[in-house]
Amino acid sequence: MTTLHEDCQALCAHYRSGRGVSRLMGSLLSTLGLRRPVLVRGQSWLKRSGHEEAILADWPVQAPIIAISADPDISEVSGWLVQVAASGADGLVAVGGGSVLDAAKLMAAFTPDNWRPDLRQVPESVAVLPWVAVPTTTGTGSEFTPYASFTGLDGRKFSFDDRCWMATAVVHDPALLVECPTKIAGPALADALSQAIESIWAVRGSALSRERAAKGLAALARSGERAYSGDPESQASVQWAAAVIGAGIAESRTTAVHAASYPFTARHGIAHGRALAALLPGYMRWTGSRLTPSIKALICESLAVSDWAAGVQRVCELLKSWDLVTSPRDLGLTEGQLEALVSEGARADRLANHPEIPDAATLSSLICGGETGGDLVNSTV
Ligand SMILES: [Fe+2]
């Protein structure tokens, strides 16, 4: 069986991995023929940490910088596109978490002329700029997925889905993970965990996507706690795991857990992975009896547990070790606020990809708790 690192190498023709490799960007840019790349990054951490200076030191030219807010909405895109066009950029290097990588995908494909905020697909025959993904969190897998998630003008979360903007090159540098703030690292790990489990049980999953997700899930279960505590070797391992899980979810797509999570982020600014952490255990309890024995066994085996109840418990342990809550009722929202999120999270396409489509009463129980929901959320089976 191939290792996670070998899988990453196989997934991208221009893959670089290793401590400090992000400081050797000059040779990669030269290989890609990029002379005027733009640096896309988050608002502050990269600059404050000193990594930005080190990364840019090896660039051929002084790079224009575009800063992305923590959870950007679609109205911000046109401003980025104007900046890219004004710089005359021939490519992009995106250094950051999921939002930064997703923003780079839009900047690679759209221009001020072909962009409209109500677009949901990339127009045909656009010339996509080459771009380099340098993730600084261990979780979204965005470097190997065709998705780019944003909050729309109506306040709802949605995802672009287009393979035209898959990253041209991927750089995994564990040195960038070391100082990742825990409020970002924990939710990112939970995102990878949920993606892995959803990818295994997704209706649209294939043997390959399940194999990738299972391998990644096993690494998360093995190294997730140590990675969060700052152990460099474990951080490198879970970064590969999250990336390979991302490649799996690119094929299998997400299910009801992700669907339910989006309104928590769009309406209340709750970090994506934090919302998933609160939802996943309840969805696992409800979904367990609806899985085939082989799917259930694959998830249990990957989590290194003997049965489903122990699997749910292991997932809760992991989430708690990442300082996350494991019930929607612990997210600090009122009952009325939770109720308002139920129908919004019932996206038909994602629910149809769940092993069994939860009905309205089940969704309400899973999100709001209450008498039945309390059973679903708190029981150990
Ligand atoms: Fe996600």
At 165 the pLDDT is 92
Tokens matching residue 46:
């990269």
Residue 103: C-alpha distances to residues 106, 133, 214, 283, 357 (Å):
5, 11, 28, 30, 32
Compute, in angstroms, the gap from residue 261 CA to the centroid of ligand 1.
9
Q: How far is the CA of 186 from the centre of ligand 1 (A)?
A: 13
Distance 191 CA to ligand 1 centre (A): 5
In this predicted structure, what is the pLDDT of residue 378? 39
Cα(304) to centroid(ligand 1), Å: 23
Whether domain 4-176 has CATH 3.40.50.1970? yes
Kindly give the distance from the C-alpha atom of residue 258 to the centroid of ligand 1, in angstroms, as a whole number. Answer: 6
CA 39 – ligand 1 centroid, Å? 24
The reported pLDDT for the residue numbered 156 is: 80
The domain 182-378: what is its CATH number? Answer: 1.20.1090.10
249 Cα–ligand 1 center, Å = 9
Q: What is the pLDDT of residue 208?
A: 96
CA of 193 to the centre of ligand 1 (A): 9
How far is ligand 1, taken at its centre, from the CA of residue 140, in Å?
Answer: 6
* Spatial distance between the Cα atoms of 314 and 304, rounded to a whole number of angstroms: 9
What was the pLDDT predicted at 137? 86
Q: How far is CA 305 from CA 218, 251, 319, in A?
A: 11, 26, 16
What element of type H or E holds 160?
strand 157-161
Query: Which residues of the chain are under the pLDDT cut of 50?
Result: 370-381
C-alpha 272 – ligand 1 centre gap (Å): 7
Eight-state DSSP code of residue 213: H
Distance of CA 2 to the CA centre of its chain: 23
User: Given this model, what pLDDT does residue 50 score?
Assistant: 84
Contact 11, 144 (CB under 8 A): yes
**Residue 194 C-alpha to ligand 1 middle, in angstroms?**
7
- Ligand 1 centre from 187 Cα, in Å? 10
CA of 273 to the centre of ligand 1 (A): 7
- pLDDT (tens digit, 9 = 90+) per residue, 36-66? 999 999 987 788 888 888 888 888 778 899 9
Distance 279 CA to ligand 1 centre (A): 12
Locate the domains of the chain by residue range. Answer: 4-176, 182-378
Beta bridge mates, 40:
66, 94
What pLDDT is recorded for position 374?
39
- Reported pTM: 0.89
Q: Quote the ligand 1 centre to 239 CA distance (angstroms).
A: 15
pLDDT score at 370: 43
* pLDDT recorded at residue 380: 32
Task: For the chain, give percent helix, strand, coil, nearest 5.
Answer: 60, 10, 30
Q: Are strands 169-172 and 14-17 parallel, antiparallel or unpaired?
A: parallel
Instruction: Tell me, in angstroms, the distance from the centre of ligand 1 to residue 189's CA.
Output: 10
SS3 letters for 51-117? HHHHHHCCCCCCCCEEEECCCCEHHHHHHHHHHHHHHCCCEEEEEECHHHHHHHHHHHHCCCCCCCC
Separation between Cα atoms, residue 254 and residue 252, nearest integer Å: 7
Q: What separation in Å is there between the alpha carbon of 26 and the centre of ligand 1?
A: 31
